[in-house]
Amino acid sequence: MKKESGATKSVWVDQVQLPPTEALNENITCDVCIVGAGIAGLTTAYLLSKEGRKVVVLESKNIGGGESSRTTAHLSNALDEQFYNLVKLFGKEGARLACQSHGQAIDKIEEIVGQEDIDCDFTRVDGYLIATTPDEAEKLGQELEALQQIGWQDVIMRKHSPVDTLSTFPCLHYPNQGRFHIMKYLAGLAKAIMENGGRIFTGAHVKEFKSGAVATVVTTHNRSVSANHLVVATNTPVNDRITIHTKQAPYRTYAIGVQVPKDTVPDALYWDMKDPYHYVRLQKDTVGDAANDILIVGGEDHKTGQNHNPAESFRKLEDWTRQKFPMAGQVQYVWSGQVYEPVDGLAYIGRNPGDEDNVYIATGDSGHGMTHGTIAGMLITDLIMERPNPWAKLYDPSRSPLKSVGEYLKENLNVAAQFKDYVTPGEVDDPMQVLPGTGSIMRKGAQKIAVYCDQDGVRHQCSAVCPHMGCVVSWNTVESSWDCPCHGSRFDPFGKVITGPSTADLGKVNQE
């Protein structure tokens, strides 16, 4: 049996009956075409359908089949970048708007859950930012001062977190955060979109974008959708080649779901201050053992395609979990996902730079995909409806990266360094050296070849060069995929594209 990509499984995937969708078998026109059926795409589609707009959503997989199904589903306006850094980058007013927008995104999710009667375990919980060293405790003081400067007076310093084993140092207590079951929520959104007259097509992989007064997208089955407005909400833009990709970087992030006895961990969000940091939340176990809950722990991030032993990240994550939560039991779920880190800490949401004014993107979600995605729906809806939005300038994709020039240069120098792979030897000299269920890079003359051996011992070869910008891919042992170390495109073992920015599969091997 052939081993497919997506070898890990998130806590969300087995518990939801998604509403039936359509297959795109004709060329159609609409008011708004949205590419991507994750939280950003479906929130945008939902809000626009409520405005009476004729909306079409195209998704190459299933509803939530991209990174939305691989989130840990924190809902928070306690941002990873820390507000003392955001004040430096965007000023007090910009930092205040960032805080406000994420808070209003949580409110919007709660509002939609109530309006549409979506049973998705939405719950308001508190959040705790944990210091574990004297230096981190000092940074907590800086953060509290910044929060007071932007007017968030409800955050307070506490001597200890609700979980004694996390740390003996202080923590910041953020009220009114949240959590929910992402796939149940997306199923409810999709149902409401279709009830409002919107259409959702799955299995519709877009291969071509044509800008103009009327934007057109073309799928791999040569069906087209033409629209007055085009929204690309695919985690990272698949309609751009360079501009946005120089201002953000792809990271793999890891998560485990561990059984804990019910009521042994207070229901809250927890974050430490390490680099990479860890993030923790509780999910009530509604399908398993009623005596237990699921503790979801994420972290151990690294640049995509630049770690040759990603399984080690799971081991480190479990070790950290058992140290900090001694009550942790059996690991029930393991999964990884991909986040894009903008160089200045905030997402890029709005009109696509260098494109027509009717083309919009939502990307750079960092560790706050659920709220950034909801912000995207709210902001892009206002732009299309020609309403002013106070967040438009803050999230403008065309904003300059110069305020964070050090991070910008670091990430782009990292990308440039990946091209050294063209002159390095292969990992194997012969396809027969590749073991079943694994992949390796082989050099053949001037070519770099991606060799995958399936479980039956059959070797499959394709070009190892990513079609997006020409970087050499790397084998991901955790997800059984080929990952691009430059801009994060991913391909299944046989070279078929899983996620962009590439829209094309890995090429065939040149037989000359």
Q: Which residues contact 16 (CB under 8 A, 6 or more apart)?
A: 181, 183, 184, 187
Domain co-membership, 337 together with 256: yes
Domain co-membership, 322 together with 438: no
Q: Exposed (0-12), middle (13-18) or buried (19+): which is 402, by Cβ within 10 Å?
A: exposed
Alpha carbon separation from 276 to 94, 302, 316 (Å, rounded): 25, 8, 11
Whether 408 shows a pLDDT value over 90: the answer reads no
| Residues β-bridged to residue 363 | 348
CA 269 and chain centroid, separation: 18
**pLDDT at residue 7, rounded to an integer:** 59
The answer to whether residue 38 is domain-embedded is yes
CATH code assigned at 453:
2.102.10.10
Task: Summarize the confidence of residues 235-253 as an average pLDDT.
Answer: 84
321-327 own/partner pairs: CB under 8 Å, 24+ apart: 321/256, 321/258, 321/295, 321/297, 323/165, 324/163, 324/165, 324/166, 325/163, 325/165, 325/258, 325/260, 325/265, 325/280, 325/295, 325/297, 326/165, 327/260, 327/261, 327/264, 327/265
Domain co-membership, 281 together with 359: no
- Beta-strand relationship, 123-130 and 171-179: antiparallel
Residue in the block written with tokens 């004709």: 26
Question: DSSP letter at 181?
Answer: -
Domain co-membership, 153 together with 218: no
Q: Are 150 and 92 contacting, i.e. CB atoms less than 8 angstroms apart? A: yes
Task: Summarize the confidence of residues 161-181 as an average pLDDT.
Answer: 95
Q: Are 103 and 398 contacting, i.e. CB atoms less than 8 angstroms apart? A: no
The answer to whether residue 83 is domain-embedded is no
**pLDDT at residue 3, rounded to an integer:** 32
The answer to whether residue 394 is domain-embedded is yes
Q: Does residue 183 or residue 403 have the better pLDDT?
A: 183
C-alpha to C-alpha distance for 152 and 175, rounded to whole angstroms: 10
Q: Given 289, 319, 342, which residue is the final one in a domain?
A: 342
- Beta-strand relationship, 359-363 and 224-232: parallel
Task: Summarize the confidence of residues 417-423 as an average pLDDT.
Answer: 53
C-alpha to C-alpha distance for 89 and 400, rounded to whole angstroms: 11
Report residue 116's pLDDT band, with 50, 70 and 90 as the boundaries: very high
**pLDDT at residue 309, rounded to an integer:** 86
How many separate helices (H) and strands (E) can be counted in the chain?
8, 24
Alpha helices in 252-342 (DSSP H): 311-324
Q: Given 324, 342, 360, which residue is the final one in a domain?
A: 342
**pLDDT at residue 4, rounded to an integer:** 37
Taking Cα atoms as reference points, which of 243, 235, 239 lies closest to residue 399?
Answer: 243
For residue 432 the two structure tokens come to 């027969």
Domain co-membership, 170 together with 266: yes
Task: Summarize the confidence of residues 214-243 as an average pLDDT.
Answer: 91
CATH code assigned at 287:
3.30.9.10
By percentage, how much of the chain surpasses pLDDT 70? 92
Domain co-membership, 225 together with 350: yes
3-state percent breakdown (helix, strand, coil) of the chain, nearest 5:
30, 30, 45
Report residue 487's pLDDT band, with 50, 70 and 90 as the boundaries: confident
Whether 165 shows a pLDDT value over 50: the answer reads yes
Domain co-membership, 334 together with 482: no
Whether 18 shows a pLDDT value over 80: the answer reads yes
Per-residue HEC secondary structure of 18-38 comes to CCCCECCCCCEEEEEEEECCC
Q: Average per-residue pLDDT in the chain?
A: 90
Q: Which amino acid is at 155?
A: V
For residue 304 the two structure tokens come to 């995509």
The answer to whether residue 112 is domain-embedded is no
Whether 422 shows a pLDDT value over 60: the answer reads no
Domain co-membership, 330 together with 267: yes
List the single range of 105-119, 123-137, 408-422, 457-471 with lowest mean pLDDT. 408-422
Q: Which amino acid is at 56?
A: V
The answer to whether residue 509 is domain-embedded is no
Q: Are 151 and 157 contacting, i.e. CB atoms less than 8 angstroms apart? A: no
Query: Count of domains in the chain?
Result: 3
Domain co-membership, 187 together with 332: no
The answer to whether residue 465 is domain-embedded is yes
Question: DSSP letter at 459?
Answer: E
Domain co-membership, 399 together with 290: no
The answer to whether residue 98 is domain-embedded is no
Q: Given 311, 342, 373, which residue is the final one in a domain?
A: 342
Alpha helices in 180-262 (DSSP H): 182-195
**pLDDT at residue 369, rounded to an integer:** 93
The answer to whether residue 256 is domain-embedded is yes
Domain co-membership, 304 together with 452: no
Domain co-membership, 204 together with 143: no
Per-residue HEC secondary structure of 386-442 comes to CCCCCCHHHHCCCCCCHHHHHHHHHHHHHHHHHHHHHCCCCCECCHHHCCCCEEEEE
Whether 216 shows a pLDDT value over 50: the answer reads yes
Query: Phi-psi bin for 387: left (phi > 0), alpha (psi -120 to 50), beta?
Result: beta
Q: What's the pLDDT tens digit per position in 301-358?
A: 888 888 788 889 999 999 999 999 999 999 999 999 999 999 888 999 999 998 999 9
CATH code assigned at 353:
3.50.50.60
Structural domain harbouring 487: 423-499
